Structure 1
Amino acid sequence: MYNTIDSLANIFEKIQIEVAEQDDFVYFIDKEHIWTESGGNIYGNLSPDYETFLHGGLNELRICDPKTRFEIHRNRIVEIILRYAGRIEAQLREMETTTAVLRAKWFSRFADYPAESFEEALQRILFVNQLMWQTNHRLVGLGHWDALLGGFYEKGLQNRTLTLEDAFSLLCSALRILHIDYKFKSNLVLGDTGQIIVVGASNQNGDYVGTGLTDLIISAVKELAQPDPKVLLRVNKKMPDDLWETALDCMASGCGSPLLSNDDVIIPHLVSFGVTPEDACSYITSACWEPLIAGKDSSLNNVTSLNFMKGLNNVFQRDNLQKINSYEELKARYRLFLAHNITAVKRVVSQQRFQYDPVLSLFMKGCSESGKDVAHGGAVYHDIGITTVGLSNVVNALLNLKEHVFERHTYTLEEVQSILNDNFENHEPLRKQLSSREIAYGVDDSEVIDLTNELIRFVSEQTSDFRTYLGGRLKFGLSAPAYIDAARDFPASFDGRKMDEPFAVHISNEKISAYTTIINFVAALDLGGNRFNGNVIDLMATPNFIHDNKEKLIALLRIATDIGFFQMQMNVFNSKTLIEAKKRPSDFPNLIVRVWGFSAYMIDLPEEYKDVLIMRALENERSGRV
């Protein structure tokens, strides 16, 4: 642990200071001097505590009369960061320009004073974010910006030290700077940076808490037309119409933002899971959509993924099919193998150990109070989360098996096994029939809803008693980034999916013609208990459809919020544009698409992701939503 502190001190002394004179803020990452340690996994996919540093100096984070190892290390890391900030200040003063002198003043105040202005508060958020990337934290969230900055914004407007135009310009500048290193910051796919800004909120009375800054942040994201950072807008049934309009205009621009998150559903689930009402009302999300408590939560919400389809494939590959004589027996055998898969996932999760992390611990509430590093359970909340994939596919496959094997007796299970092993060779009409069933996942039908709830409740039962080495609980959701990766080399399935073809994306069904169908479906799902780790309806729309139906869509989103959707995102483009962009990528360098929980330039995506988007766009247009 002492080596950890020494290695951090060494890194911060070696970092090359880079100040861009033309930028409004200081922000840089020295990629040659990223902190690396081997004492476990380094935390990522979360947001540090930005708030405390906005309202006080770094010296306030020190421990008076330190005695324990944690307390000594905490004070030492404050000294290391202040020396680093001092080096930046010194370089700014050497530049001698008016702008550089102002920025140097901000850095001189880091030790003992709170931020004074909207501009200085933004600089502090950028500085903490920079520290996280420099110390090798990945997928670093940006926090709840209108909550963090709202007081500075209102004060600046009131005392006339800030204009609306200035605030908009500063927001745009900060967003541009954060986007510059998106290739370095990307994780699995270019654009997957985790840089998410949350806006909007609800208080404990259920009232909507939004400000002019909420609207301004969304408008800045639309103005820049860049995929990253992305925005998540928290909504409730009381959100004003003008903010709905701003959100829809931003979606229609094709930037992929904002993702919508329904407070009326999510906050009660957080409270029932043990989060205090006050903290639940301040939730943000991890890199994509998984609820997380701002600045208090070290929960890793995307450790691994459970493949719902794997259990059914195991039935066909390992079980004695001749002994399965009914649909209920088939489901029972499926649940048995699904339980084995869940056990394997829990084994992976239980092996997670984390690197001693003094920098993140400094910017994580609970660590100082508990006297523990974040890796030792110091944060107020330290649970763990998984995602799931293939639920849509397995629901449709089970319904097809019920119909064709146990009701119509068209095939035996052994014949189905042979068809799947042959990847539907010589059975293309059957494959098309299976994949085009009308009563399917995402449809507001009692049989579909009951089966879906049966499966997710089973996973909940199998995981609810799990505890990590820190005592954290396991939560899961129905959305995952693994719909392509988990399907690689995965055998054909009786939903009509051929080997290697992707699983369905999140909660989606492009074949249905009405958005209300899938919204009603999601509202009927039981997402309580530990089942709230991201449940995103993924919709497709053409630009013309949005522009021609704007008022109707706002009304629909209001109704959907009231009915109780969990989360929602929208990809806005037409298939013709996507097809042309794939053929001639250099002609479409700035075309933005929504991937799983982030937006990206289409030109940056692997070919298989482009193919999925094109396929979904074509299906959406066939459904009549053009």
Structure 2
Amino acid sequence: MNDRLEALKARVRAGEHRRFRQDGPPDLLAECAASALSWTQRAARLTRRMCEAERPVIEPDERIVFTRTVPTVPPLYSPEDWAALTRDRTLHELGPISNICADWGLVLSQGLLGRRRVALATRARLAADPQAVEFCDGAIEAIDAVLDLAARYAQAAADLGRDDVAAVLARVPAHPPRTFREALQALRLLHAVVWLSGHYHVGLGRFDQYLWPYLSVDLEAGRLDLAGAEELLAEFFIALNKDSDLYPGVQQGDNGQSLALGGSARDGSDAVNELTRMVLRVALETNMIDPKINLRIAPDTDLALLCQATELTRQGLGFPQYSNDAVVIPALLAHGYALEDARDYTVAACWEFIIPGKGMEVVNIGAVSLPAAADRGIREGLAAGDDMAGILQRVAADIRGQLGRLVAAYARLVLPPAPYYSVLMEGCLERGRDLSGGLTYNNYGVHGACSANAADALAAVEAFVFGDKSVDPRELVEALEHDYAGHEVLRRKLAEDGPKVGDNDPTADAMLTRLFDLFAAACEAIPDNRRGGRVRPGTGSAMYYVWLARGHDAMREPVVGATADGRRRNDLFSANLAPSLGAQVRGPVSVFQSFAKIAYQRIYNGGPVTLELSDAVFRDAESIRKVAMLVRTFAQLGGQQLQLNTLNVDTLREAQKHPEKHRNLIVRVWGWSGYFCELAPEYQEHVIARHMHAMG
């Protein structure tokens, strides 16, 4: 990067832009109450007042502008009114709609004035429909708020003599962009206002697809060369990192600013273009946690592209995360997605597969605790004298019970209206209906959490209790009840000698696939989630690898104590699809082989195989090619999703002792990358405890 960009990045990392933040948000309660505004009207007024409260900030060396100055979003209702409004209803997480993806290409191609014309036409056509009129009025109010914000930024730029910035903002986001710079500036404002409107986990979708037309025209016309385009893109990426401290998440950095690259186009052709490669180059240069990159691949993806992506892995960014089109697209097709939409999938905040502009899917309503199901099945089954089949019947019943409780709670789900977000979606303005009422796809997603520990526990019982009969079932139950106190020999046998997922062991892997088959069957038995959608089972764990082991206020299921894989109470589970912590496995390929056995045509909510590589792997240039070939092998074996983390344990320990010296150290946490020193201690320790692969 040049000196200008390095200075921009340094200021962002130092948080210098925070000096522009105001003390408090606008107060909406009195206005909303005095005017007796409906929920939809309040949501639109929120966007308007937040945009009005923003103070334009344009630094001398900025070309892509917008600095958030209103750090908090005010409530739309008093605590008492909110409690009454949501009584006996289920709110998803913080309440506002999150973790979906706008159709950014649609909005860029029409401009906000084009979207406004659609809203006006619908309002006239549906004038006798009060709900449509109210929605369209709210959408128009939100659009006008963004247009006014852009106009004030344009005036501020003109006042500063920044005619270049003023000219761009006079064009966008009101009108369709004509250039790459205009497209990036429009996207910056449109994306930021989603956050200002109270939403979170706001993804960027198929970035290289909807922005490529603007870049390609610039390149063909000679208005811009690759170096100039990369400079603009780098500034856009740096800007995305300004407010990560404001974005809600379980841990700082868990903000959902993800994008997807490559893969198939809607017509089935190869979607990789020059912008695909440029994004990878620029992300390598900026070396920051946002945007979080997902690369869609196939078994025959060009090795040069995989090598370029591997450069980011070597740098320790924790991305790209890889999604295998050869597995993902057929699974989506099998579960009701149209072919063109399945080909057009992007990735949500962590790993879930969603359709830009067409999905009001709540892809993370919770998790089924597979260790809890296995543990209850083992303890109760052994105490009752069951054989292995009986234990598995109990496991199946427990999975059904957990899922049933979760889905029953979400039968009372309430999604707040989102008039501004609806402007960015396909069909909402045309139908006169808010996206909270549903879009083309309205599925739920549930994580099948911590599967390796659950499978290892069941495999140990099969191998040692029912196989060679070297473990007495009563002793095992007693050991579990007492957290292995007085049973250390047994614990070590289970932990060190038991079959392990990730070692391509047939016993352990059979239990893994059985667990996911049971989970899939439980989801398939729910034909309708009461929003016109299905329940999608997945393989991710999110933060549950900590919560299931140690508890959390948001957990619906009880904490799991000691487990039959030799794990003690309070020890953390492995994250996503990864061998249990401390499990001895042969290497990356055996890990891939184990997890490739899952029936992904039924398990399609996403959740990556998570692999940690020692930084010693990247000792020479040939190592890049070897790791790229490893990614290709993963796809060829039929894996669904993969994330790679490059770590040095000594460096991580040093960072714990002296965080001020390692403030830019990045790690992959569960489905996102964050700064190691900003993580809570339990998440830091889990990263350190993961199995490190050296490769030959």
TM-score (norm 1): 0.93
Q: Which moved more, 1:350-359 or 1:209-218?
A: 350-359
Amino acid paired to 1:270? L
Q: Counterpart of 1:502? A: 572
The alpha-carbon distance between structure 1 residues 440 and 70, as it changes in their structure 2 partners (threshold 3 A), is: same
Amino acid paired to 2:571? E
Q: Distance in 2 between matches of 1:217 and 1:86?
A: 31
Amino acid paired to 1:381? Y
Q: Following superposition of structure 1 onto structure 2, how do residues 40-439 of structure 1 map, counting pairs within 5 Å?
A: 41-61=95-115, 62-64=119-121, 65=124, 66-67=126-127, 68=129, 69-96=131-158, 100-110=162-172, 113-203=175-265, 207-315=269-377, 319=380, 321-377=382-438, 379-437=439-497, 439=499
Matched-pair contact (CA < 8 Å) for 1:201–1:235: yes
The correspondence for 1:454, drawn from 503, 511, 514, is 514
Per-residue CA deviations over 1:102-150 (Å, capped at 9, x if unaligned) read 3333333347631111011111211221121011111111111100111
Amino acid paired to 1:327? M
Matched-pair contact (CA < 8 Å) for 2:460–2:499: no
Matched-pair contact (CA < 8 Å) for 1:511–1:620: no
The alpha-carbon distance between structure 1 residues 165 and 492, as it changes in their structure 2 partners (threshold 3 A), is: same
Displaced runs of 4+ in structure 1, greater than 6 A?
Answer: none
Matched-pair contact (CA < 8 Å) for 2:138–2:419: no
The alpha-carbon distance between structure 1 residues 205 and 155, as it changes in their structure 2 partners (threshold 3 A), is: closer
Q: Counterpart of 2:689? A: 615
Q: Counterpart of 1:513? A: 586
Q: Distance in 1 between matches of 2:457 and 2:370?
A: 11
Matched-pair contact (CA < 8 Å) for 1:420–1:494: yes
Per-residue CA deviations over 1:207-264 (Å, capped at 9, x if unaligned) read 4321111111111111111122211111113322221111001110011111111111
The alpha-carbon distance between structure 1 residues 170 and 34, as it changes in their structure 2 partners (threshold 3 A), is: farther
* SS of structure 1 residue aligned to 2:241: helix
Q: Counterpart of 2:643? A: 569
Q: Does 1:12 align with 2:48?
A: yes
Q: Which moved more, 1:91-100 or 1:599-608?
A: 91-100
* SS of structure 1 residue aligned to 2:611: strand
Amino acid paired to 2:637? I
* SS of structure 1 residue aligned to 2:101: coil
The alpha-carbon distance between structure 1 residues 98 and 52, as it changes in their structure 2 partners (threshold 3 A), is: farther
Amino acid paired to 2:408? R
Q: Counterpart of 2:4? A: none
* SS of structure 1 residue aligned to 2:362: coil
Matched-pair contact (CA < 8 Å) for 1:93–1:101: no
Identical pairs, percent: 24
Where do 5+ consecutive residues of structure 1 fail to align? none
Amino acid paired to 1:405? V
The alpha-carbon distance between structure 1 residues 533 and 320, as it changes in their structure 2 partners (threshold 3 A), is: closer
Q: Distance in 2 between matches of 1:71 and 1:564?
A: 49
The alpha-carbon distance between structure 1 residues 149 and 305, as it changes in their structure 2 partners (threshold 3 A), is: same
Q: Distance in 1 between matches of 2:155 and 2:272?
A: 38
The correspondence for 2:665, drawn from 591, 598, 603, is 591
* SS of structure 2 residue aligned to 1:184: coil
* C-alpha RMSD of matched pairs (Å): 2.2
Matched-pair contact (CA < 8 Å) for 2:109–2:176: yes
Offset at residue 581 of structure 1 (A): 1.5
The alpha-carbon distance between structure 1 residues 450 and 495, as it changes in their structure 2 partners (threshold 3 A), is: same
Q: Distance in 1 between matches of 2:561 and 2:149?
A: 57
Per-residue CA deviations over 1:530-567 (Å, capped at 9, x if unaligned) read x1111311011122213442222222322322221111
Q: Counterpart of 1:24? A: 63
Matched-pair contact (CA < 8 Å) for 1:420–1:493: yes
Q: Distance in 2 between matches of 1:99 and 1:554?
A: 48
Q: Does 1:474 align with 2:535?
A: yes
Q: Distance in 1 between matches of 2:223 and 2:560?
A: 60
TM-score (norm 2): 0.84
Amino acid paired to 1:278? E
Across the two proteins, how many residue pairs are aligned to each other?
619
Matched-pair contact (CA < 8 Å) for 1:207–1:238: no
Per-residue CA deviations over 1:8-49 (Å, capped at 9, x if unaligned) read 325523422232233222323322444646465311012122
Per-residue CA deviations over 1:428-461 (Å, capped at 9, x if unaligned) read 2322221224631123233333322222121111
The alpha-carbon distance between structure 1 residues 101 and 70, as it changes in their structure 2 partners (threshold 3 A), is: farther
The alpha-carbon distance between structure 1 residues 63 and 534, as it changes in their structure 2 partners (threshold 3 A), is: same
* SS of structure 1 residue aligned to 2:310: helix
Q: Distance in 2 between matches of 1:288 and 1:99?
A: 42
Matched-pair contact (CA < 8 Å) for 2:173–2:189: no
Q: Distance in 1 between matches of 2:346 and 2:321?
A: 12
Q: Distance in 1 between matches of 2:302 and 2:315?
A: 21
* SS of structure 1 residue aligned to 2:545: coil
Matched-pair contact (CA < 8 Å) for 1:19–1:92: no
Q: Distance in 2 between matches of 1:168 and 1:438?
A: 51
Matched-pair contact (CA < 8 Å) for 2:407–2:529: no
